């Protein structure tokens, strides 16, 4: 019998631990994923003996070490201890929905120089249960189910492929989150993009482009040297051809680095090829003096230049900067004592 909390068990391990009859597993899953219950003793439709046994095993493995509230209560950032690694999760509330931004790895090995996570290096892969538990913590805070999940926190999701696919299936099948409300944001790993279209329901894919040519992208997204733009574009074309939803291109504007309006037509050309929407966002400060945010007027001019070049482009609102919870600000730091 595996010595792991319930959320860390895969389907067959959970069935072994819960025991017959078969419907018992479905009951436990409802408690774990729909009710976000943390105490098996409260799983009231289970026999007392099963409740006691599951209570001895425990539900989750994340230990929340800090909770920060920003944007007047509309943004919440959690720091969780995941067996010695720090993992961050951000909840963003909007008038019509709540979105949880989850981490798929502790840290990140991709090394993007404008990103605090990339500068902090790689810790370890997260397990599927650790990813899903981040959503369950947010659901408990909200007092209701989470509507949207974005894999835009710490880590490159497609570099932790098996666990991310397992987490997506659990979010979809057990938590009841629709596939189009799940977004995976990737720097673009071609073979994983192709396999993702087969392995999970049709979710939303966001590609972090950040530069329209390989020379500049080699600097801003170092894995571009291994997976250059044309190879990612080909894989994304296959994703679309396989029935994948419309792709979003993420473009983070860094002052004096990738924000010249002259680059916009090249970005627009890539977007048109993929029939993709371009989401622009000013980078968030991370302390590296070479990489600082573009001024708001530069960001607006860039968005205008994209539209003039025929791209469908929007400016993404920045959330969570006051609590270091914005895009690119998630670092593996523990709270100050
Ligand atoms: S931007 Fe994304 S892929 Fe790049 S270092 Fe940061 S977390 Fe990793």
DSSP characters for 65-118? EEEEEEGGGTEEEEEEEETTEEEEEEEEEETTEEEEE--SEEE-SS--TT-HHH
Model confidence at 21: pLDDT above 70? yes
User: Which ligand 1 atom is at minimum distance from the Cα of 327?
Assistant: 1
Confidence band of 329 (pLDDT split at 50, 70, 90): low
pTM of the model: 0.94
Using the mean position of ligand 1's atoms as its centre, give its distance from the Cα of residue 143 in Å: 31
Does the beta carbon of 117 sit less than 6 angstroms from any atom of ligand 1? yes
What residue segments make up the domains of the chain, in order of their start?
A: 6-57, 62-323
Does the beta carbon of 156 sit less than 6 angstroms from any atom of ligand 1? yes
Confidence band of 336 (pLDDT split at 50, 70, 90): very low
Does the beta carbon of 123 sit less than 6 angstroms from any atom of ligand 1? no
Mean pLDDT of the region 175-202: 96
Cβ neighbors of 37 (< 8 A, separation 6 or more) are 31, 43, 59
pLDDT of residue 321: 62
CATH architecture of 62-323: Alpha-Beta Barrel (3.20)
Q: Which of the residue ranges 55-59, 317-321, 330-334 would you say has the lowest mean pLDDT?
A: 330-334
Which residues sit opposite 228 in a β-bridge?
none
Q: What is the CATH number of domain 6-57?
A: 1.10.150
Enumerate the active-site residues: 88, 327
First to last CA, the chain: 39
User: Which ligand 1 atom is at minimum distance from the Cα of 154?
Assistant: 7
pLDDT 10s digits, 237-257: 999 999 989 999 999 999 999
Model confidence at 337: pLDDT above 50? no
Q: Which residue is closest in CA terms to ligand 1's atom 5? A: 118
pLDDT of residue 247: 96
pLDDT 10s digits, 135-185: 999 999 999 989 999 999 999 999 999 999 999 999 999 999 999 999 999
pLDDT of residue 287: 80
Using the mean position of ligand 1's atoms as its centre, give its distance from the Cα of residue 66 in Å: 22
Phi/psi at 159 (5° precision): -90, 0
Distance CA 174, CA 177 (A): 8
pLDDT 10s digits, 23-41: 999 999 999 999 999 999 9
Instruction: Please indicate whether residue 332 or residue 8 has the higher confidence score (pLDDT).
Output: 8
Does the beta carbon of 110 sit less than 6 angstroms from any atom of ligand 1? yes
Task: Give the number of other Cβ atoms within 10 Å of residue 57's Cβ.
Answer: 17
Does the beta carbon of 187 sit less than 6 angstroms from any atom of ligand 1? yes
Distance CA 279, CA 291 (A): 19
Using the mean position of ligand 1's atoms as its centre, give its distance from the Cα of residue 318 in Å: 17
Does the beta carbon of 283 sit less than 6 angstroms from any atom of ligand 1? no
Using the mean position of ligand 1's atoms as its centre, give its distance from the Cα of residue 110 in Å: 6
Is residue 104 within 8 Å of residue 157, measured between CB atoms? Answer: yes
Q: What distances in angstroms separate CA 91 from CA 139, 147, 304, one per listed residue?
A: 9, 11, 30
Q: Which residue is closest in CA terms to ligand 1's atom 4? A: 112
Mean pLDDT of the region 73-87: 94
| Both structure tokens of 231 | 């190879």
pLDDT 10s digits, 115-134: 988 888 999 999 999 999 99
Using the mean position of ligand 1's atoms as its centre, give its distance from the Cα of residue 42 in Å: 39
Helix axes 190-199, 161-173, angle to 10 degrees: 30
Does the beta carbon of 188 sit less than 6 angstroms from any atom of ligand 1? no
Instruction: Please indicate whether residue 117 or residue 214 has the higher confidence score (pLDDT).
Output: 214
Pocket test for ligand 1, best of 104, 188, 328 (most atoms within 8 A of CB): 328
Mean pLDDT of the region 312-330: 71
Model confidence at 221: pLDDT above 80? yes
Distance CA 305, CA 300 (A): 9
Residue 69 gets the label, from left (phi > 0), alpha (psi -120 to 50) or beta, of beta
Is residue 189 within 8 Å of residue 158, measured between CB atoms? Answer: yes
Using the mean position of ligand 1's atoms as its centre, give its distance from the Cα of residue 127 in Å: 19
User: Which ligand 1 atom is at minimum distance from the Cα of 252?
Assistant: 1
**What rounded mean pLDDT belongs to the chain?**
93
Does the beta carbon of 118 sit less than 6 angstroms from any atom of ligand 1? yes
């Amino acid at each position: 019998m595996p010595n792991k909390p319930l959320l860390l068990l895969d389907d067959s391990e959970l069935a072994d631990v819960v025991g017959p009859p078969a419907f018992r597993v479905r009951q436990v899953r409802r408690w774990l994923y729909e009710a976000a219950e943390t105490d098996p003793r409260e799983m009231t439709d289970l026999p007392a003996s099963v409740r006691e046994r599951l209570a001895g095993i425990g539900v989750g493995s994340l230990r929340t070490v800090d909770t920060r509230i920003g944007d007047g209560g509309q943004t919440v950032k959690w720091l969780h201890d995941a067996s010695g690694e720090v993992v961050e999760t951000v909840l963003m509330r909007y008038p019509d929905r709540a979105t949880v931004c989850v981490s798929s790895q502790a840290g990140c090995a991709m090394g993007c120089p404008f990103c605090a996570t990339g500068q902090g290096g790689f810790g370890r892969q997260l397990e599927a249960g650790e990813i899903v538990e981040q959503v369950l913590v947010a659901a408990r805070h909200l007092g209701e189910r989470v509507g949207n999940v974005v894999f835009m926190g710490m880590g490159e999701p497609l570099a932790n492929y098996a666990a991310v696919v397992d987490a997506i299936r659990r979010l979809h099948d057990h938590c009841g989150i629709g596939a189009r409300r799940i977004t995976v944001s990737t720097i673009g790993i071609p073979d994983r993009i192709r396999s993702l279209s087969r392995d999970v329901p049709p979710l939303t894919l966001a590609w972090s482009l950040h530069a329209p040519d390989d020379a500049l992208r080699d600097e801003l997204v170092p894995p571009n040297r291994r997976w250059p733009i044309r190879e990612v574009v080909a894989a994304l074309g296959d994703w679309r051809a396989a029935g994948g939803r419309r792709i979003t291109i993420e473009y983070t504007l860094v002052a004096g680095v990738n924000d010249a309006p002259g680059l916009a037509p090249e970005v627009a050309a890539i977007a048109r090829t993929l029939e993709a929407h371009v989401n622009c966002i000013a980078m968030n400060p991370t302390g590296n003096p070479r990489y600082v945010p573009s001024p708001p007027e530069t960001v607006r001019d860039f968005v205008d230049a994209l539209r003039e070049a025929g791209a469908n482009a929007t400016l993404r609102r920045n959330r969570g900067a006051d609590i270091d919870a914005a895009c690119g600000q998630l670092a593996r730091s523990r709270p100050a004592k």
